[in-house]
Every structure is written in C-alpha cells, then in structure tokens.
Amino acid sequence: MKRIAVLSLLLVLLAASVSPALAGKSTNVVMNGTITAIDSANKTITISTVSGPFPKGSEVVVYTTSRTRFLQQIADGECIYITFEDLEVGDLVGVTGRFENGLFVATRITVKL
C-alpha cells in the first residue's frame, strides 16, 4: 500500500512538472475566410470563416502584432508585402496564427485573389 502511495505521489509530481512545459507550446492554426470588419485602432480584423478549426461561417476576431506579416497574392501566384492599412472588408484571406491567452494572434495574413 505504501508503494502505491509513493508511486501515486511521484506521478502527480511528474505531471505537475510536465504540464507547464506543454501548456507553453502552441501550434500554428490556419484558417481561411472573408474580412467582415476592421478595427484600425486595435489592429484587429474579424473574418467569417470558410475553413479552419472553427465551424464554417464563424466570426473570428484576429489580433495582429508588430510581428504579423501581411501579404497579397498577385496574378502569377507570388506574394508581395502589404500593410495592415491595405486590408479591406470583403477581402478573402488566409490567416496563420496561434492562440495566446485565449486570443487568436496572427503571424501571417495573406490576401488571396
């Protein structure tokens, strides 16, 4: 009985030490949708999703940072760099980002043709 208690205690301690390390890891999420709103003051966009981890038609607020890259696809399939200010309601976009503190933060937003 004593061995089970010690083993249980060791497993609890191991789980407690591993959980924070796993919690800090985040994975990239990719979604596509149409921009339905732009908040220039807070540097956010809202997209209505067509694919990704949310149900189709979900309204998702996407936060941007100084590290977010903005791209525009051009006719030959290549991309050029643009700025947040170049985004427009109605643009079809592909967004790559991750969840940080419950918010979806974009690392890249690509305006598609």
Q: What is the DSSP letter of 1?
A: -
Q: Given a cut of 70, is residue 5 above it in pLDDT? A: no
Q: pTM score, two decimals?
A: 0.76
Record the tokens describing residue 112, joined without a space: 């598609």
Q: What is the third-level CATH fold of 29-111?
A: OB fold (Dihydrolipoamide Acetyltransferase, E2P) (2.40.50)
Q: Which residue has the higher pLDDT, 1 or 75?
A: 75
The whole-chain average pLDDT of the chain stands at 83
pLDDT, residue 64, reads: 98
The span from the CA of 47 to the CA of 93, in Å, is 8
pLDDT tens-digit readout, 37-92: 999 999 999 999 999 999 999 999 999 999 999 999 998 889 999 999 999 999 99
DSSP, residue by residue, the chain:
-HHHHHHHHHHHHHHHHHHHHHHH----EEEEEEEEEEETTTTEEEEEEEESSSPTT-EEEEE--TT-EEEEE-TTS-EEE--GGG--TT-EEEEEEEEETTEEEEEEEEE--
* Least confident window among 2-16, 62-76, 86-100: 2-16
